[in-house]
Chain A
Amino acid sequence: MTNKIKNNIYVRVLIKLVLLFGIVFVVDFSIGHLLRYLYFSQQSGNLYRTTYSLEKTKSNLLIFGSSTANHEYSPRIFEDRLHITSYNTGRDGTSIFYQYAILKGVLKRYSPKMIVLNFDLEEFKKSPASYDRISSLLPYYKTHPEIRSIINMKSPEERIKLCSRIYPFNSMLFTILVGNTDFNKERRKDFQGFVPLQKMLNKELDSGYYPEYELDSNKIKIYRSFIHDCINANVKLYVVCSPFYNKLEKFPNSIILGQKIAHENNIRFFNFLNDTSIINYPSYFADRNHLNYKGAAIFSNKLIDKMINEEDDQSALAK
């Protein structure tokens, strides 16, 4: 008799749990689908630019990187001077994982002629946040099998978590909603992906050593893959370190290693970190890490000069 009652309770619990999971499943499915629809309907903003970079851009010169790339490389200047269509795929807070995923998405569709990869001071720094931020690629897991291996680096359980339809859009609700309004287009304009910063720094230039940090072997591996994929697709790659508002006595290990790997693969590595024609002018910076619109224009032109001169050197050598 007792066992019978006990079994009945167990069955009751089981039925209720199944019912609860059923409700959660239906709500998750419905909201998840709505979010997916709204996500891909956006016409402006960060999230839209990721979709555009991954699925739509056909430009012949692409700029890759994190916020430094996004705020410092003006595609219009590249277009005017190099006579080549250009787009800035940079996104705030991303790392080489994100950039490599975008590259894979692009190369699946076409091969651009040139790629500029912005190389950050902490490019190879071991940081759990870099893995957390792979989540910005989750909305594309379903439709882009080529980037799944990168998403799986976030955690081995990612595939299971993606059973939820809402999960890929976690924390994006309001950004997606705002991304579907005209107000968002006006709020922070981008120029072919490039988002200029308006602020102006008002600080003395410091000098010193950049803090030491541990290197992440996964990031180094992905950086190598980025280079190899560009070489295999016949894309001319430039790796660039943009200016940082601090006179560095010694470059961080990432820069030294990044440069070494680039040279091993005959890739040009331009280092503007201690470029006094930029870092001596705080008015070119929005903050220590980022150039403002004025600095971005000057830096873009300086980089193009270097690219052209290198080209000339190469042509001269060929002759």
Chain B
Amino acid sequence: MIFTSFNFLIFFPLVIIIYFILPEKWRWKFLLISSGYFYINIKPVYAILLLLVISTTYIFTRLIDATDSQERKKTFLLIDIILTLLPLFFFKYYNVVNEATFNLLEITHLRWPLPEISWLLPIGISYYTFMAIGYSIDVYNEEIPAEKNFGIVALFLSFFPLVLSGPIERAPNMLPQFKGKLIFNYYKLVKGLQWILWGYFMKLVVANRVGMYVNAIFNNINEHNGKSLFVATLLYPIEVYADLGGYSLIAIGCAKVMGIDVMQNFNRPFFATSMSDFWRRWHISLISWLTDYIYTPLAFHFRRFRIWGIVIALMITFILSGLWHGANLTFIVWGTMQGIFLSIEALTNKKKKAFVRKYNLLQKGWYILICSVFTYFLFAFSEIFGGASESVTAGFLTIKKIFTDFKGDVWYENPSMIIITSISIFILFVVEFKAEYYKGQFSFFGNRSLAIRFLSYAFLVIMILLIGVLDGGQFIYFQF
């Protein structure tokens, strides 16, 4: 059951109605049952893995909490992390390790071929594994006491709006909410429904529509010229943003309707004026997780190298981020590129700041526009290795063609495709532009007039029905 499936449109309202009918003390238990049902519906056998991660986390966080010895705490944390990471490593990196080992055995003539096993990655495993590890580290750091109620831990790690694709939430934010009063809040209900509606628009109208074009080009790189590949390269970040951003908004909105606050995952990334600004706005829950649990400890560890310590920490963090996305060379290239961009920014930061201050550039529209466009281009070209191309070779071929193959026109299936895709992107950018630069002005969803608010909702529903791609269109980030 995914958010765009018809089943979910029945499941979610039903959950909400029963949730609010039930007495407050029963609500978290009902959410746990609903979450279990939701996950089991995807593939029952994968629910066992989720249960294993929940149990491991519960047992070891209790052990960490119960002991006073720092050494033992550390040992428990290490065992906990290893056990929690095992399923993720097995399912995500099994094939890569397998292949590498086979190659090694073949070179040494020690290979004894056995039938190959093909494993599908259990959906959401990368997300709930990170949430579980984050919780264990928080308990170890005594930022939060270990939760005594197994059900609450289980709900935290299996909460149905977040379990498939995040946001990667933190225990200090979620556990108190589940344990506290889950009361009906009119403001949150309305806000949540607004986010859900906008999330559906982003996914069905923008992501799926743009994805049709991008996939048609990137699935057949050899057949397309440089111009078409350039257009697809520029469109791919929009597809990914509308896809994961849309998914996140639906997830956050679903939680909000139930009175639960979940962290934002995106903050208008295409208006970022530098790569470091961009990474503060893009996939915030993953990046803040990596910052807190990997980058900061590493930067602290390498502090004697001063600025170069930061560069080392950045490179390691983003290569790991690439590996989180997939056990694939393309993602390592992608992560390395992000690390290089950010390192260059870190190394030139002081001089750049002084230059900007001297000429008062932050007040100049043209400077902000150039910086935003430059940042977008950097990210778009790095995304060639971040999921757009199937392999590193295909990625380099794409770049080569963009700069050398100018023959022919830009490919499109029919004029209707261009018009609809342009309209969907235009609406997205207008809304984002307004939210970035004119906050609180010309509000549609937050307008005082009921008529304007309701007509805005109706407009989006009609747009989804009119130009949304309602069939197919799996969420991109499910694969991670």
Q: List A residues at the B interface (Cβ < 8 Å).
A: 6, 9-10, 12-13, 19-20, 23-24, 27-28, 31, 128-129, 131-132, 135, 155, 157, 160-161, 164, 166-167, 169-171, 173-175, 178
C-alpha gap A167/B458 in the complex (Å): 15
Residue B476 at the A interface, CB < 8 A?
no
Contacts of B472 in A (CB 8 A): 128-129, 132
Known A-B contacts A9-B186, A173-B420; A20 and B466 likewise in contact (beta carbons under 8 Å): no
C-alpha gap A10/B419 in the complex (Å): 42
Residue B468 at the A interface, CB < 8 A?
yes
C-alpha gap A10/B184 in the complex (Å): 9
Contact of A24 with B6 in the complex, beta carbons under 8 Å = no
Contact of B462 with A27 in the complex, beta carbons under 8 Å = yes
Interface size bucket, B side?
20 to 34
Contacts of A167 in B (CB 8 A): 465, 470
Residue B415 at the A interface, CB < 8 A?
yes
Interface residues of B in 400-434 (CB under 8 A from A): 414-416, 419-420
Chain B proximity of A19: nearest CB distance (Å): 7
Residue from A24, A128, A160, A164 in contact with B458 in the complex, judged by beta carbons closer than 8 Å: A24
Contact of B186 with A178 in the complex, beta carbons under 8 Å = no
Contact of B420 with A155 in the complex, beta carbons under 8 Å = no
Q: List B residues at the A interface (Cβ < 8 Å).
A: 6, 20, 184, 186, 189, 414-416, 419-420, 454-455, 457-458, 461-462, 465-472
Contact of A171 with B420 in the complex, beta carbons under 8 Å = yes
Known A-B contacts A12-B186, A20-B458, A161-B6; A170 and B415 likewise in contact (beta carbons under 8 Å): no
Residue from B416, B454, B465 in contact with A175 in the complex, judged by beta carbons closer than 8 Å: B416
Contact of A174 with B419 in the complex, beta carbons under 8 Å = yes
Residue of B nearest to A25 (CB): B458
Contacts of A12 in B (CB 8 A): 186
Contact of A135 with B186 in the complex, beta carbons under 8 Å = no
**The 9 residue pairs across chains A and B that have the minimum distance between CB atoms:** A132-B471, A174-B416, A166-B465, A157-B6, A23-B458, A24-B458, A175-B416, A24-B461, A174-B419
Contacts of B468 in A (CB 8 A): 170-171
Known A-B contacts A12-B186, A132-B471; A31 and B466 likewise in contact (beta carbons under 8 Å): yes
Contacts of B20 in A (CB 8 A): 10
Chain A proximity of B10: nearest CB distance (Å): 9
Contact of A24 with B186 in the complex, beta carbons under 8 Å = no
Contact of B467 with A173 in the complex, beta carbons under 8 Å = yes
Contacts of A157 in B (CB 8 A): 6
A13, A27, A171: which has the most chain B beta carbons within 10 Å? A171
C-alpha gap A157/B7 in the complex (Å): 9
Q: Known A-B contacts: A164-B465, A171-B469, A174-B420. Give 4 more (CB < 8 A).
A: A9-B186, A13-B186, A31-B462, A131-B471
Contacts of A6 in B (CB 8 A): 184
C-alpha gap A66/B176 in the complex (Å): 58
Residue from A20, A31, A131, A155 in contact with B454 in the complex, judged by beta carbons closer than 8 Å: A20
Contact of B467 with A171 in the complex, beta carbons under 8 Å = yes
Contacts of A178 in B (CB 8 A): 415-416
Residue from B184, B416, B420, B462 in contact with A24 in the complex, judged by beta carbons closer than 8 Å: B462
Residue of B nearest to A173 (CB): B466
C-alpha gap A171/B212 in the complex (Å): 13
23 pairs of residues in contact across A and B, judged by CB atoms under 8 Å: A6-B184, A9-B184, A13-B189, A20-B457, A20-B458, A23-B458, A24-B458, A24-B461, A24-B462, A28-B462, A28-B465, A129-B472, A132-B472, A135-B471, A160-B6, A166-B462, A167-B465, A170-B467, A171-B467, A171-B469, A173-B420, A174-B416, A178-B415
